[in-house]
């Protein structure tokens, strides 16, 4: 069994520069099958209203939606986790992040050294290239989008 499940690219785009400054948005390859994800940003104002739109795309002549878009209220989420896709994303990043607490968020937010592991998948994915598009919305307008590209291949 040879499985490769790893990040392949990470692109952050800021829509509102008065809210956030990105200090780091990059991947670090540590071996052929392991790439660590680092994100670090400074929030210029405390945030008490955080909506996350999460969508997974699969590459096939460009990136096509693979699962429906999930829209969740992060401030509510930490009171009661309810969305299966978002619970998966949360489990992937929580041990590496300082955002694993209820609102408000302020100062430096980061995720450091996050890694993809086969055991995290709720069920097998078709082999392919994927994009996890996370758009962060505060007070009704988009602040940034974080595009995490990853691959999954399974040779049995």
Residue with token string 């505060």: 138
Closest separation in Å from C-beta 63 to ligand NAG: 6
Stretch that binds ligand NAG, among 18-26, 64-72, 80-88, 122-130 (CB under 6 A): 18-26
Q: Considering only residues 8, 40, 129, 153, which one is a binding residue for ligand NAG as defined by CB under 6 A?
A: 40
- Report if residue 48 touches ligand NAG, rule: CB under 6 A: no
DSSP calls for the chain: -EEEEEEEEEEEEES-TTTEEEEEEEEEEEETTEEEEEEEEEEEEEE--EEEEEEEEEESSSEEE-S--EEEEHHHHTTS---HHHHHHHHHHGGGBS--SPSPEEEEEEEEEE---GGG-SS---SEEEEEEEEEEETTEEEEEEEEEEEEEEE-
Stretch that binds ligand NAG, among 32-40, 64-72, 74-82, 99-107 (CB under 6 A): 32-40
Strands 20-31 and 70-73: unpaired
Nearer of residues 34 and 129 to ligand NAG, judged by Cβ: 34
Q: Which of 112, 125, 129, 154 binds ligand NAG (CB under 6 A)?
A: 112
Q: Does 69 bind ligand NAG (CB under 6 A)?
A: no
Pairwise CA distance, residues 10 & 39, whole Å = 9
For ligand NAG, the closer CB: 58 or 112: 112
Give yes or no for residue 33 binding ligand NAG (CB under 6 A). Answer: yes
Q: What residue ranges bind ligand NAG (CB under 6 A)?
A: 16, 18-19, 23, 31, 33-34, 40, 45, 63, 91, 95, 108, 110, 112, 117, 120, 131, 133, 135, 141, 145, 147
């Amino acid at each position: 069994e040879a499985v490769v499940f790893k990040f392949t690219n990470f692109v952050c785009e800021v829509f509102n520069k008065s809210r956030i400054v990105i200090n780091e948005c990059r991947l670090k390859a540590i071996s052929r099958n392991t790439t660590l994800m680092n994100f670090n940003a400074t929030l210029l104002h405390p945030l008490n209203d955080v909506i996350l739109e999460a969508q997974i795309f699969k590459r096939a002549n460009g990136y096509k939606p693979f699962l429906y878009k999930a829209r969740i209220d992060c401030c509510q989420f930490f009171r009661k986790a309810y969305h299966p896709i978002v619970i998966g994303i949360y489990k992937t990043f929580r041990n590496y992040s300082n955002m694993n607490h209820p609102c408000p968020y302020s100062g430096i937010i980061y995720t450091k050294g996050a890694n993809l592991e086969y055991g995290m998948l709720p069920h097998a994915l078709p082999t392919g290239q994927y994009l996890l598009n996370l758009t962060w919305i505060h007070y009704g307008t988009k602040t940034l989008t974080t595009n995490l590209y990853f691959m999954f291949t399974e040779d049995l």
